[in-house]
Structure 1
Amino acid sequence: MLRRLTAVVGTAVLLLGLLVASYELGARGRASSLPEGFEALSEVYDRVSRDAVNQPPDDVLVEGAIEGMLESLDDAYAEYYDADEFAALNDQLDGMFVGIGVVLEDTEVGLTVQTVLPGSPAEEVGLEPGEQIVRVDGTDVRDTPSGVVIDKVRGPEGSSVVLGLMGGSQGAREVTVVRAQLNMPTLESRALEGEIGYIALRQFTDDAGDRVQDAVEDLLDDGSRALVLDLRGNPGGYLPEAVAVAGVFLSDEEVVRVGVDAESAREYRTGKQATAQDVPLAVLVDRGSASASEIVAGAVQDLERGEIVGTTTFGKGTVQTISVLGGDRGLKYTTARYFTPSGNSIDGRGVTPDLIVESRGSEPDEALLAAQESLTGRLAGAVPAGENS
């Protein structure tokens, strides 16, 4: 089964690196010349709309034709958005949406909770990473396509959904979750013991680079001498923001290559003045770190800029372009692959940490403690950056 991450936010958007995974925004394009035989599509429309016993509305026919084209691409990330879905997608990429507040993974056993967003309705009722959704409002959904399950889970603000769960520490159970307007906390920062600063980035929104830059400057001004960048549970976002975040720690370096293959791909580089170029760095990752998160982690690892700590990342190495259709609708499809500075693709493999620490849901946070220990040693001159402790 194709592994996919999705955020339950009120739309049936599939996110791989939230989405996207890594996204590029495409300008509205002009229609190219139509291929020979395309007039048959117009003829089918004329005949169906005139003669079919069950005549669907025009917008249904148009959407069906579009989705048929996308299915022919054999592209798991290709998707058409109507006006409402496209508006919700844009809100989601800006960190705002209505939903229950979880990131799900489409696994062999069904939709599984990968990340529970802080302060969300899902957190309030105690949803746990690793729990599987097996029923929605009393209906068994174990053999139901993930997109259909998401449609059942989504709904208007203030409404509730009853989820049947299994696989967590509490065994089989049911919880009622009230959907709410969420403003996804994209960044959290604080000072840790030992003159170490901590930054958790939850999503690569269109201002992620500036947010990380500001947080790093504040932490350094307050006396931090080493930094932890936490990308656990971060499913991705805008590609340019991944480059911008990497540019806070890397000066004039290649971050990623984007194209059909590594040799012909376009290079994306950071600027010449990184705020934290010489500051010891550890990056936390896990199974929920995808796409743009993997771009940053892969660059840090390839360039030996810091230590990657945690568990192997999701493994999404493709880029989707989002194009505007007709002013208020959208189209998303895969347009390129991305490669780390060494030319490696992480698609289907992920980024393997330098220091593997299983800690999802643990208390205390073993991965964070391991990163702190590593940084403390490096501040003391005991462990060079890029080497395992």
Structure 2
Amino acid sequence: MTVIRTAAAGLALLLAAACTAPAPPRSEASTAAGTVCAAPRGAPGAETATTIDVIEQAYFCILGNYYSGATLDARSLLTAGFVALAQELNRNGRDLPEAGMPALTGDRKADWTAFEAVYRKITDRVPDLRDKLAVGTLEAIVAALGDNHARWAHDVKRPPDYYDGDGYGLGFQANVNGPQVGGNPGVALPPLFVTTVQGGAARAAGLRPGDVIESINGSAPFVDGKATPAIAVLYPEYPDARPVRLRLLRQSTGRHWSMTLKPGLYQRDLAALQVVQSKLLDDSIAYVRLRGFAPDSANRVFKAISRLRTGRTLTGVVLDLRGNGGGSPTEATRLVSAFTHGKATAYLCTVDAKCETLWTDNTVELLNLPLMVLTDRSCASACEHFSSAVKDLRLGRLVGTRTAGVISGPAQPYLLGNNTSLSFPARHHLGPNREVIDRIGVPPDHHVPLTPKDAAAGRDPALAKALTLLNK
């Protein structure tokens, strides 16, 4: 597996995870069709076809339960859905004279009735496209929220020979709520380069850390310093995984060359997949890498530090959260609680600014150790919850690059009538100082980006800076 970075934005192009909170939904709002938008209870049955009735249920579920559902202009959802509907017709060469957007008035129920009437006329004319049109319409309605923790999870039918995953050997970070390329690829800065090679086609092709990716299928990853859609080719979703042509530069030798990477299965490094890894540095500093806020991850961090503390006096902790896509907000709060008690770690707020305070868990034993936290553009969601608490509460210092800015709020799941899951936040996240972190990220106290030369030489400047600060 090859992990790629941008020079000044860290892992700005890795996949960032969206967390799903276990909390129950705010309400069980009945839709106009009389169906209920409710939290899943037990394992759902087999998925059935997506229909206009399922789309209706999702539409009213969003309006009744989403963070800003009460104030949302529902016309934006229906317009986005109809745009997708028209585009799918056009892609299939089946455009229809009746496929025009109905007039919308702002009355949510009346607008839905108008939308549904036209939708049914269209799908009656092209019954063979009914499934495609329904899926595309519902995906677009959810995407119109513009919320990085909103997702509709449904099965995508893949052919038996299709490989979906890290087939190029290019670094992926997968998650249950769907991928987002770095959360905010627009903040990525050139160059795009390899940081590690762990297997697959990349290793077979002789890629090395520090190799700069100059073009992807003939297109530059950056134009005028801004990230282009070409980068997304390296993170394909079904059905887009296919051989990719790269143009590369090895700065140490000045060599330019091209290669084609073909997707395929390869053996992963099991150690690199461990949620928690730890080691002793400089004889007295505990280094702990946490790859995600999985259940019980905070306890595993505490146990790792305790083992390193046995028989010696520790002088500090370096917590490496680079590439941490998030997970459980509860675990993030518990980890913060090892460094302070009696403090607010975050706020979860409704659209009318009514907020729930998330307090530290004072049953967690304090570590009483200086703390350095390594962050990058793939530190997202619960990782940003933790990082913002460390920064705002002055519990330690952040070293590396800004976090992803993918923390709209904990997503809550709702079961739809075809046994698919719709999830989105009922409340939005604010940091301990009541600041918005979503789409912005948490800036480090010490900005220490990785360069291609660092990667080629095996250097980790952010870790080196953290150790220097602890050893002062």
C-alpha change, 1:171 and 1:325, in structure 2 (3 Å) is farther
Letter paired with 1:351: V
Q: CA deviation at 1:226?
A: 1.7
C-alpha change, 1:161 and 1:148, in structure 2 (3 Å) is closer
What residue number does 1:246 align with? 336
Q: Which has the larger radius of gyration?
A: 2
Alignment of 1:322-341 (within 5 A): 322-326=412-416, 329-341=420-432
| Greater strand proportion | 1
Greater shift in the superposed pair: 277-286 or 161-170:
161-170
What residue number does 2:109 align with? 36
Q: CA deviation at 1:230?
A: 0.8
C-alpha change, 1:56 and 1:338, in structure 2 (3 Å) is same
Measure, in 1, the Cα distance between the counterparts of 2:283 and 2:349.
42
What residue number does 2:469 align with? 374
Point out where structure 1 has 5 or more consecutive residues left out of the alignment.
Answer: 8-14, 86-95, 378-389
Identity across the alignment (%)? 23
TM-score for the superposition, normalised by structure 2: 0.61
1:80 aligns with 2:156: no
What residue number does 1:383 align with? none
Q: CA deviation at 1:179?
A: 3.8
Q: CA deviation at 1:149?
A: 6.4
1:346 aligns with 2:452: no
Greater shift in the superposed pair: 103-112 or 199-208:
103-112
- 1:185 aligned to 259, 274, 278, which one? 274
C-alpha change, 1:303 and 1:147, in structure 2 (3 Å) is same
C-alpha change, 1:140 and 1:303, in structure 2 (3 Å) is closer
Measure, in 2, the Cα distance between the counterparts of 1:161 and 1:322.
37
Letter paired with 2:246: G
- 2:258 aligned to 170, 173, 181, which one? 173
Greater shift in the superposed pair: 236-245 or 169-178:
169-178
Measure, in 2, the Cα distance between the counterparts of 1:133 and 1:26.
45
Alignment of 1:158-307 (within 5 A): 161-166=243-248, 169=251, 173-176=258-261, 178-180=264-266, 184-223=273-312, 224-260=314-350, 264-307=354-397
Letter paired with 1:202: R
Letter paired with 2:348: V
Is 2:148–2:407's contact at 8 Å kept on the other side of the alignment? no
Deviations 1:252-285 (A, max 9, x none): 4321112247963222122114344311111112
Point out where structure 2 has 5 or more consecutive residues left out of the alignment.
Answer: 1-8, 33-107, 158-163, 173-180, 223-227
What residue number does 1:102 align with? 171
What residue number does 2:55 align with? none
C-alpha change, 1:70 and 1:315, in structure 2 (3 Å) is closer
What residue number does 1:151 align with? 236
Measure, in 2, the Cα distance between the counterparts of 1:353 and 1:109.
16
Measure, in 2, the Cα distance between the counterparts of 1:248 and 1:154.
44
Greater shift in the superposed pair: 161-170 or 223-232:
161-170
Measure, in 2, the Cα distance between the counterparts of 1:360 and 1:161.
27
Count of residues paired in the alignment:
349
1:311 aligns with 2:404: no
Greater shift in the superposed pair: 249-258 or 40-49:
40-49
Letter paired with 2:216: R
Aligned residues: CA RMSD: 4.1
TM-score for the superposition, normalised by structure 1: 0.72
Measure, in 2, the Cα distance between the counterparts of 1:317 and 1:229.
20
